[in-house]
Amino acid sequence: MTYLMIFITGIFVNNIILSQFLGICPFLGVSKKISTALGMGMAVTFVMTLATVVTYLLYYTFLQPYGLEFMNTVAFILVIASLVQMVEIILKKTSPALYGALGIFLPLITTNCAVLGVALLVIQKNFTLMAGICYCLAAALGFTLAIVIFAGIRERLERTNVPPFMRGTPIVLITAALLSMAFMGFAGMSY
């Protein structure tokens, strides 16, 4: 399978939020403004890529050779939490401006199931390291695309005349469902 096909299907067809329903908490919680959604998307892209590389190496150099494959979920969670903490400490020391820009997003990523989900999917799909990185970047860009589009729609909904019984959570969930259905139109492209 070509890297281009992995990349395109990872963004559109198998969108981590809209098709696989991973990362719904930040999708609904951090998508009120485009700026915060974009910040969350960039932070997720960075941490997801780093976590995928480290968990891939951990799995194939330690867990699989010693027959500890059953420990992958626990090990991956520990790795992701440790990476987020390490990145937070390093950014705080080396780049306070970037640390301030990411703000609350870094701790939120620790509990983002999309990061763990992509790390596990790379192992389940038997990707090579390069294909795994390609898939990870595509999933992260798909996450960012979905959350930014949703934030744009939510900003417009704030300025429209929505019936009182539909305001708030009901219209947000209906919008998310419609956006997910729109992305289902890409289902003809799959791997």
pLDDT in tens, 107-142: 778 778 999 999 999 999 999 999 999 999 999 999
pTM of this structure: 0.89
Q: Of 23, 45, 28, give the one whose Cα is nearest residue 153.
A: 28
Assess whether pLDDT exceeds 80 at residue 156.
yes
Environment class of residue 141 by beta-carbon count within 10 Å: exposed (0-12), middle (13-18) or buried (19+)?
Answer: buried
Q: How far apart are the first and last CA of the chain?
A: 8
Q: In the block, which residue shows the tokens 């941490």?
A: 47
Helix intervals (H) in 59-71: none
**Residue 127 confidence (pLDDT):** 96
The amino acid that residue 172 corresponds to is V
pLDDT tens-digit series, residues 35-60: 888 888 888 898 899 999 999 999 99
